[in-house]
Amino acid sequence: MKNDDNRIKIGMIGLGYIGSEVLELITRKKEYIFKKIGKYLEVIKVAEKDLSSRRSIISRHKEITFTEDPGEIIEDGSIDIVIELIGGIEPSFEYILACLNNKKFVVTANKDLIAKKGPDIFDAAEKNEVDILFEASVGGGIPIIGPLKTTLAANNIYKVVGILNGTTNYILTRMDSDGLGFKDALRIAQELGYAESDPDSDIMGKDAANKLAILSSIIFNSRVSVDDVYKEGIINITEEDITNARELGYCIKLLAIGDLLDDKINVRVHPALIPSEHILSSIKYENNAVYFYGDNVGEVMSFGKGAGDKPTASSVVGDVINIARNFDRADPHPVFGCTCFTKKEIAAIDDTVGKFYVLMEVTDKPGVLAKISKIFGNNSVSIHSMIQKPSRENKKGSASLVFIIHDVLNRNIKKALEQIKGLDVVDSVKNVIRVEELEN
Amino acid sequence: MKNDDNRIKIGMIGLGYIGSEVLELITRKKEYIFKKIGKYLEVIKVAEKDLSSRRSIISRHKEITFTEDPGEIIEDGSIDIVIELIGGIEPSFEYILACLNNKKFVVTANKDLIAKKGPDIFDAAEKNEVDILFEASVGGGIPIIGPLKTTLAANNIYKVVGILNGTTNYILTRMDSDGLGFKDALRIAQELGYAESDPDSDIMGKDAANKLAILSSIIFNSRVSVDDVYKEGIINITEEDITNARELGYCIKLLAIGDLLDDKINVRVHPALIPSEHILSSIKYENNAVYFYGDNVGEVMSFGKGAGDKPTASSVVGDVINIARNFDRADPHPVFGCTCFTKKEIAAIDDTVGKFYVLMEVTDKPGVLAKISKIFGNNSVSIHSMIQKPSRENKKGSASLVFIIHDVLNRNIKKALEQIKGLDVVDSVKNVIRVEELEN
């Protein structure tokens, strides 16, 4: 056994797009990683449900046992670390729990699972005195979770603002820079392979919500589930909104925001107008970024590719290295653990306060603004600025009104807009988008 | 002793601007950090050469022994980790070596020392089987070194481009956004406390060179000293250069760049024109950023405050947490170690290739451009573009020529410009600045 002390035995479950790259990366960098940490990472067994389609990679790895039965990895007492890369909730959840219960350390990129089943998973890891790491579940290759647990660990991070979904950021960038409509931009994103053919998880904000739930759990030290996250997608954003935003000095991004409201956790994914001068406006195309506000460090941001096989594999193997560096087979113990040591409530979106952009189509005649302003006033909604523009549809007798609304309770603006929609001089409220000033 | 296993005993040498904040941060966050890592960080002894000026902080910490003799910390067998925050080479070097030789783990923010004395320090750490961590030495509070050693460790990072000095970035930002001259911008930076009253270390590039040496040693796994770094400061940058750059679609930044040239390390700090569209152009005022190119992760960037007591303390305490998390008093062993396992040569700046911006003042008459072009051609210097502008000084009969030179060997453009300066039609070569396209 002593001869094995610098060899870390790894099992992999899942050999798809990401899994294949992880296997190749570990193989390619074996000596390089040994020189850095004094341990050899050795993948000894890989489970994949359809091996027949993996002949090429199998033929390149004679040293590895390939199987279609994940149980062979879960039950293999010689395996130190299991890498789970099949994704989704089931059967990943079952496999990971079984690995943890067999006292194996686990590395995963599975954001759905961590965001949904976090409590069960971390409880199992704690009970069995092992670690489960998941850097690749948020922001692909960008170091985010690691720094939060280490370099930034002395901080109370009181706010996170992320651009966490590359597909939607690509779509909004193309709409802004090339004047494309939403559907055309989505089609191009799909052609380039950024968007899934069923892109709902991206454009409805669910993918970003998973990642936000994971990040918020870490920074607020309290478990946040994806179900706690308020979600609005980008399907209603039009080129008209983007043009209006630009004229007002803003650009539109799909943001994932976590902060505290009276010590309740306020987590939301929605499009927002942000100042064109803010660095998050510079995050373009499929790139991701996460912006943290810490009580000591101030503002820090990480930026990079948030998806793709190679960046994701970089983070997966980084996690394996973090475990391997400290791994003591005689006395395995967790290094990072779960840091959700408190239990905070989740704030209701109606109770949150924010600025808003409101675009409406109205009858172009005197007295209209007075009627609208009266309803806003009655509901404690205060107008910061208003611009009247010709109706986009060139409808005779119509005009567009663009409002920026001062900080307001969400329930108040909601109520005001319901009443405004009932005015006979208002054709439609075309869009309502939050404005995040992201002030320094 | 068993009762002490979750208490990490810390000694501090230096209680200045940073040291005071580190002490307060550790004290303020004692319970918070315990909840995260299961260890109490306890500063038990602090050495400061002039205690009489520290009455206020001393009176707040009855539990700590304050001394003017660092030897009391170096020789105290009960101390696990020493935090060195006096800065400079001597006597820090002597103190740190003594701590390492007494098998104490060390955390420092001392960039001068690491960049100059790295080999001696890391040799001593290795020999004594302890770690020395120095996250705060580069980029203040921004997590940079930690991610390189952990999350990104599977990558070969083949290039780093950093904005690593906040003072010069502040000066260049104000020159660009407000049309200030260098001297006015420097004066304002000094008034705001960004620049030292003797600002040479900032504006001549030495501070950035220290940080680049540290980063390059890590990414290229080969020791780079600050003396290996080619340095050009920003004192010759004028508002005219900044305006010309802007018209050409660039902005001017002081960059610290490390990359490989035929497997030799090419490390240089100099002002450079970079595309206005690149995200590094969005790094403004006193902020810092580091942009890495990795073979797997692609491009990643970290951004934040690169200086100041609170951000720096954040990184110092982050390092202490990293050591404490794994600390085993019965069997202390290094977690990170030094990863300079190869020895690469340093490339000479004359052998490097790059694009250039050249501004010259010439006699405004036919045939001048032909004479200049001929010399460029004779020296294998190829002109990408040229704009003629009226002389800034409105000198009668004079004109300004702005050249962008295609990728060229440094020695060739140097030689060409020497010859061009000798032409009777050339009044002066006013500036020569590198152009870094930073292409994706």
Question: Which of A156, A283, A314 comes nearest B154 by C-beta?
Answer: A314
Residues B154 and B293 reside in one and the same domain: yes
Residue B391 has pLDDT above 90, yes or no: no
Q: Which residues from chain A sit within 8 angstroms of residue B321, using beta carbons?
A: 150, 153-154
CA–CA min distance B275, chain A (Å): 13
Q: Residue B411: is its pLDDT beyond 50?
A: yes
**Tokens 């010590």, residue located:** A263
Q: Where do the DSSP E strands lie in B319-352?
A: none
pLDDT at A435 over 90: yes
Averaged over B392-398, what is the pLDDT? 81
Render pLDDT for B118-161 as a digit per residue (tens, 0 to 9): 999 999 999 999 999 999 999 999 999 999 999 999 999 999 99
Question: Does one domain contain both B8 and B62?
Answer: yes
| Residue A186, pLDDT above cutoff 90 | yes
Read off the pLDDT band of A195 (50, 70, 90).
confident
Does residue B286 share a domain with residue B414?
A: no
**A164 and A284 share one domain:** yes
Q: Does A151 sit within 8 Å of B147, measured CB to CB?
A: yes
State the DSSP string of A102-122. Answer: TT-EEEE--HHHHHHHHHHHH
Q: Domain holding A288: CATH number?
A: 3.30.360.10
Residue A188 CA to residue A174 CA, distance in Å, equals: 9
Per the CB < 8 A criterion, the answer to whether B170 and B285 are in contact is yes
Contacts 24+ apart (CB under 8 A), B50-56: B54/B15, B54/B20
Average pLDDT over residues A379-393: 93
Chain B hits for A25, Cβ within 8 Å: 154, 296
Cis peptide, bond prior to residue A91, ω within 30 of zero: yes
Q: Is residue A341 part of a domain?
A: no
Contact B230, B267 (CB under 8 A): yes
At B439 the pLDDT is 73
Provide the ipTM. Answer: 0.95
Residue B174 lies in a domain: yes
B300 neighbourhood in chain A, CB within 8 Å: 141-143, 302-305
Task: Nearest chain B residue to A322 by CA: give it.
Answer: B150
Closest-CA distance, A107 to chain B, in angstroms, reads 12
Q: Given the structure tokens 């905070």, which residue do they identify?
A: A344
| Best B151, B284, B331, B339 residue to mutate vs chain A (most A CBs within 10 Å) | B151
Within this chain, do residues A84 and A217 fall inside the same structural domain, yes or no? no
- Residues in B closer than 8 angstroms to A177, CB to CB, are none
**Which among A221, A304, A322 has CB closest to B301?**
A304
Q: Considering the domain boundaries, does residue A318 fall inside one? A: yes
pLDDT in tens, A331-343: 888 988 899 999 9
Give the phi and the psi of residue A260 in degrees, each rounded to 5. -110, 140
User: Rounded distance, CA A204 to CA A185, Å?
Assistant: 15
Global pTM value: 0.96
Q: Within this chain, do residues B381 and B256 fall inside the same structural domain, yes or no?
A: no
The string of pLDDT tens digits covering residues B416-440 is 999 999 999 999 999 999 999 997 5
pLDDT at B2: 44
Task: Return d(Cα B60, Cα B53) in angstroms, integer.
Answer: 14
Q: Which helix (H) or strand (E) holds B189?
A: helix B182-191
- Whether B340 maps to a domain, the answer reads no
| Residue A342 covered by a domain | no
Q: What is the pLDDT of residues B258-269, one digit of tens each?
A: 999 999 999 999
Residue B195 predicted with pLDDT over 80: no
Q: How many residues does chain B have?
A: 440
With 80 as the cut, is the pLDDT of residue A196 above it? no
d(CA B45, CA B159): 41
pLDDT at residue B29 greater than cutoff 50: yes
B49 neighbors B15 (Cβ within 8 angstroms) = no
Q: For A27, which residue in chain B has the nearest alpha carbon? A: B154
B-chain residue closest to A41, CA distance: B154
Both tokens assigned to B277: 């569209």
Q: Residues B9, B116, B211, B305: which is the catalytic one?
A: B211
On whether residue A338 sits in a domain, the answer given is no
- Is B211 among the residues known to form the active site? yes
* Same domain? B134 vs B151: no
Chain B residues lying within 8 Å of A339, measured CB to CB:
35-36
User: What's B392's domain CATH number?
Assistant: 3.30.70.260
Q: Are residues A214 and A287 in the same domain?
A: yes
**pLDDT for B95 beyond 50:** yes
d(CA A296, CA B21): 10
Same domain assignment for residues B100 and B186: no
Residue with tokens 């995050």: A283
Mutate to test the interface with A, among B156, B297, B317, B327 (most CBs of A within 10 A): B297
User: Given an 8 Å threshold on Cβ–Cβ distance, is A303 in contact with B279?
Assistant: yes
Chain B nearest CA to A285, separation (Å): 12
Contact list in B for residue A294 (CB cut-off 8 A) is 141, 314
Residue A102 lies in a domain: yes
> Which chain A residue lies closest to B338 (C-alpha atoms)?
A36
Q: What is the pLDDT of residues B231-240, one digit of tens each?
A: 999 999 999 9
Q: Do B305 and A315 touch (CB under 8 A)?
A: no
Q: Do A154 and B321 touch (CB under 8 A)?
A: yes
pLDDT of A39 over the 60 cut: yes
- Contact by Cβ (8 Å): A217, A396: no
Strands, E assignment, B239-338? 250-261, 264-275, 287-294, 298-305
Residue A336 lies in a domain: no
Domain tally, chain B: 3
Among B150, B311, B341, whose Cβ lies nearest the Cβ of A296?
B311
B301, B376: one domain:
no
Distance of CA A306 to the CA centre of its chain: 9
**DSSP-derived pairing of the beta strands A132-133 and A105-108:** parallel
Residues A125 and A151 in one domain: no
Give the mean model confidence (pLDDT) for residues A60-69: 97
Distance from CA of A299 to the nearest CA of B (A): 6
A318 and A299 assigned to the same domain: no
| Residue/partner pairs of B280-283 with CB below 8 Å, 24 or more apart | B280/B161, B280/B163, B280/B253, B280/B255, B280/B438, B281/B251, B281/B253, B282/A279, B282/A282, B283/A279, B283/B163, B283/B169, B283/B253
Q: Which residue of A has its CA nearest to B303?
A: A301
Task: Indicate which CATH number applies to the domain containing A114.
Answer: 3.40.50.720
| Domain encompassing residue B155 | 145-305
